[in-house]
Chains A and B, each alone.
Chain A
Amino acid sequence: MGQTITEKILAFHAGLDEVVPGQLIEARVDIALANDVTAPIAIAEFEKLGVDKVFDDERVLLVPDHFTPNKDIKSAEQSKILRDFVKKYELKNYFEIGRVGIEHVLLPEQGLVLPGDLIIGADSHTCTYGALGAFATGVGSTDLAAAMATGKVWFRVPDTIKIVYHGKLAPWVEGKDLILHTIGILKVDGALYQAIEMTGETIDTLPMYGRMSMANMAIEAGAKNGIIIPDEITLDYVRPRAKRDYKLFTSDSDAAYCRTIEIDVSSIRPQVAYPPLPDKSRSVDQAAADKIEIDQVVIGSCTNGRIEDFRLAASVLKGKKAAPYMRLLIIPGTQDVYRQMIKEGLTEIFLDAEALISPPTCGPCLGGHMGILAAGERAVATTNRNFVGRMGHPESEVYLSNPAVAAASAVLGRIATPEEVV
């Protein structure tokens, strides 16, 4: 019996020829990462283990991106725990303010996470790196602590759901829309404990940023990981960035899947996920017809914080202004994305549109800071979660969309289609 890419990567890292779904394995990790929210607990647990070093000082990555620049005294103290740990154990890959970016935009960009890797992160959106052909999954702080010390983690090998995308994308339809549509089919627990492998002719031509948006939200269907088999598009992205060797895995033609879903993308319109769950996706035309007035638009995050996302937003915002009383927030994912936005004149377009350009941070996505909603307020965001209270007051609401829909909505002050503005 053939193996899926997920099974092969897990088997390789467990030192086995093959694995089967349900099997418990102890696997070697290539990268263990955490952020300023999750690392303090991981560090406290790590210190209980009685070891005097991390398993590899180049492969434990701490990225203070959630509540930074430090939003208050408590957050400053959390960040300081990371910094002190990095100094104590002489970690080589730490990103201070000025170099830091949103972890899942930053680490692929810097070539620190690579195809074939087994990556765990104390952040649920660690699954983003599946877009590179890696096995990447979120864990809690204690699992991370054990891996920081030992370089090992246990897993139950998941079944894989294969999702095959056919057809050509309509204008303004992005990887974000494909994944929102997919979560709408699977529902928020439709892939619980399972892997999602995304494949088909649509994926074959989908650029890396769109693939990253898709793998990023695999967790929103409950999946353990989302993965795309690496190809030339992957290699074009990885080659100039990779800081070390990597390995390409693929799925065998006779690999076993627990479920296969075929999706014809040609009729899919941009999607909007209504609160309070990411699976409440509808077409943007429905959302526009519902005349949903909004107070804030957030463009950025680990889902849509890459340069291509801002090009898309700028293509809608060029020569336009945000609606009266609209707070339009642009949050580049990394310093490199920020710099590129300036070089290409995108910042000019955003400033002319009366957008606020934020430093790279997770910020409002999780209701941390830099754009919190009051009771009764609504936002359109290119982020990944629209749970109750996600961006602020429990009586505020978040609608999820791609950057073009978000930009159009900022201009019209209500959820709008890009065609209404461009």
Chain B
Amino acid sequence: MDNIEGKAWKFGDDVDTDAIIPARYLNTSDSDELAKHCMEDADPTFAGKVKAGDIIVAGKNFGCGSSREHAPIAIIAAGVACIIAPTFARIFYRNAFNTGLLILESAEAAKAIEDGHEVAVDPATGTIKDLTSGEQFKAQPIPEFMQKLLDDGGLIEHWRKRLAS
């Protein structure tokens, strides 16, 4: 994964998947369509303002609620490169890995980084730098098994290889 540098968009605790992509838009799984409504019920202006490579910095339990994979799909299609939060809801956590959305757990970074700060992330080391404040953080390491799935190109590629051999 390439290094990431973008603007931080801050959200609070317990951002649920209904806020990330409301059910009124779930009559499609088209990623570009979903992207137009990304985070709409948390910040209706977000989808219009976010730029490719930007970073969501949120509070605890990000992605709680529904299992809808439309949530990480909408976030990726909106251009978000990475989410930093103290914790992620468990289904969202799996879905993020399965859809290729980089998520990093760091309570310190999630607290310290302010809205609008420029942030750089090195996915290989989990290093998070707040370029505006100069602070640096280290995310929780990605579990070895999840890293292997990522290295394989995701769950579907992992199984495709296994089924072919």
Chain A interface (Cβ within 8 Å of chain B)? 24, 37-38, 40-41, 44-45, 48-51, 66-67, 71-72, 74-75, 78, 121-124, 126, 138-143, 145-146, 149-150, 154, 156, 188-189, 192-193, 219, 222, 224, 277, 366-368, 372, 385, 387-390, 394
Contact = CB atoms under 8 A, between A and B. Distances in A.
Nearest to A46: B156
A72 B69 contact: no
Nearest to A22: B143
B21 to A, nearest CB: 11
Contacts of B155: 142-143, 146
A40 B33 CA distance: 15
A390 B65 CA distance: 11
Interface string B31-44: 00000000011101
Contacts of B73: 41
Interface in B29-87: 29, 40-42, 44, 60-61, 64-70, 72-73, 87
B145 to A, nearest CB: 5
B45 to A, nearest CB: 13
A77 to B, nearest CB: 8
Nearest 10 Cβ contacts at the A-B interface: A140-B95, A142-B98, A189-B61, A74-B27, A140-B69, A389-B41, A366-B23, A138-B67, A124-B67, A141-B69
Contacts of A44: 29
Interface residues on B, range: 35 or more
B150 interface: no
B163 A51 contact: yes
Contact of B94 (A37, A67, A139): A139
Interface of B: 14, 16, 18-19, 22-24, 26-29, 40-42, 44, 60-61, 64-70, 72-73, 87, 89-91, 94-95, 98-99, 143, 145, 154-156, 159-160, 163-164
A139 B99 CA distance: 13
A150 B65 contact: no
A71 B87 CA distance: 36
B66 A48 contact: no
A138 B91 contact: yes
Nearest to B160: A49
A389 B22 contact: yes
Contacts of B159: 49, 146, 149-150
B65 A142 contact: no
Given A124-B66, A193-B90, A366 B99 contact: no
A380 B98 CA distance: 36
Given A48-B156, A74-B28, A188-B61, A41 B90 contact: no
